[in-house]
């Protein structure tokens, strides 16, 4: 109880004191091992209590009505960071940003996207918005319309944790999406030579002409298997954990 109150109070200043920050995990092209871009991941390093997982602080932020400013900050911050790295590292770099189902339905989310476009913070075609399949559980028609609006602004759309949520495949042809991120559970299966579902998901994505990203790749074995498939990209500890801005620049900024 006291921990909860302590966390909630600190959340009010977490953006200002920079204890809330973004970590960036590289997304790699499987065949060339080249860095395609990064996924921005929200992290909180509390001054007294240390690292607080998003699962714990996101519900608190929702309760304290801080979730909207935090969500909008994440999008703007990740876009501004990408604009810098496109200038200093590689102009073709992309950024993936996680969007919650609630955030997806909010007007301030759309206004933030419009702000990025009108202020030319970065090209929207280099931004991929990731959402889980659960986004479609309710209000399918409204969801599809909203996706078309986001696409018309020029952003890319991706389904995160694919294969673990909403079980209907029907939405795949209704949604104007560009990419599937294959959930880690299907990659983990490779350890026991269990690749029937992984193969099927890759085939499905391929048939729908979607870009594919394998998530949570941790072993050489999994990496080698993926290289034999038509999956284009991967993300995982085998290449890199989520990194701080400084660590990204140490590793990828060649003087």
Task: Give the closest residue to 235 by CA, choosing from 48, 29, 23, 6.
Answer: 29
Contact 97, 74 (CB under 8 A): yes
State CA 248 to chain mean position distance: 17
Separation between Cα atoms, residue 163 and residue 184, nearest integer Å: 10
Q: Which is nearer to ligand G, 38 or 175 (CB)?
A: 38
DSSP conformation letters of 116-138: HHHTTSS-GGGEEEEEEGGGGSS
Q: Which of residues 188-247 bind ligand G (CB under 6 A)?
A: 215-218, 235-237, 242
CB of 91 to ligand G, least distance (A): 25
State CA 210 to chain mean position distance: 16
196: number of Cβ within 10 Å: 10
Q: Which stretch binds Mn ion (CB under 5 A): 1-9, 53-61, 97-105, 238-246?
A: 97-105
25 binds, among Mn ion, ligand G, none (CB under 5 to 8 A by kind): ligand G
Q: Which is nearer to ligand G, 72 or 235 (CB)?
A: 235
Sorted by sequence, the CB contacts under 8 Å of residue 132 that are 6+ apart come out as 101, 159, 160, 161, 165, 166
Q: Which is nearer to ligand G, 7 or 217 (CB)?
A: 217
Q: Which is nearer to ligand G, 105 or 134 (CB)?
A: 134
Per-residue x/- track, 96-135, ligand G (CB under 6 A): --x-------------------------------------
236 binds, among Mn ion, ligand G, none (CB under 5 to 8 A by kind): ligand G
Q: Which is nearer to ligand G, 6 or 45 (CB)?
A: 45
Q: Which of residues 121-160 bind Mn ion (CB under 5 A)?
A: 130, 160
The footprint of Mn ion (CB under 5 A) covers 98, 130, 160
């Amino acid at each position: 109880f006291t921990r909860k109150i302590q966390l909630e109070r600190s959340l009010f200043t977490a953006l200002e004191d920079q204890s809330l920050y973004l970590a960036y995990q590289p997304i790699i092209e499987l065949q060339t091992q080249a860095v395609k871009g990064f996924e921005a991941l929200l992290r909180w390093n509390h001054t007294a209590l240390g690292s607080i997982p998003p699962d714990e602080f996101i519900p608190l932020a929702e309760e304290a009505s801080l979730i909207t400013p935090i969500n909008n900050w994440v999008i703007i911050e990740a876009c501004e960071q990408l604009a810098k790295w496109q200038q200093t590292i590689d102009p073709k770099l992309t950024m993936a940003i996680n969007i919650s189902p609630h955030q997806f339905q909010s007007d301030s989310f759309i206004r933030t996207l419009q702000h990025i476009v009108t202020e030319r913070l970065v090209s929207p075609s280099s931004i991929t918005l990731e959402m889980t399949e659960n986004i479609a559980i309710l209000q399918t028609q409204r969801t599809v319309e909203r996706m078309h609006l986001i696409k018309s602004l020029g952003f890319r759309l991706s389904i995160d944790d694919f294969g673990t949520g909403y079980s209907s495949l029907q939405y795949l042809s209704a949604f104007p999406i560009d990419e599937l991120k294959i959930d880690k559970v299907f990659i983990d299966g490779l350890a026991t030579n269990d690749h029937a579902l992984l193969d099927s998901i890759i085939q499905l994505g391929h048939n729908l002409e979607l870009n594919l990203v394998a998530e949570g790749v941790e072993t050489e074995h999994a990496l080698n298997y993926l290289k034999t498939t038509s999956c284009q990209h991967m993300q995982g500890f085998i290449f890199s954990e989520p990194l701080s801005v400084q660590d990204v620049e140490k590793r990828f900024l060649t003087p």
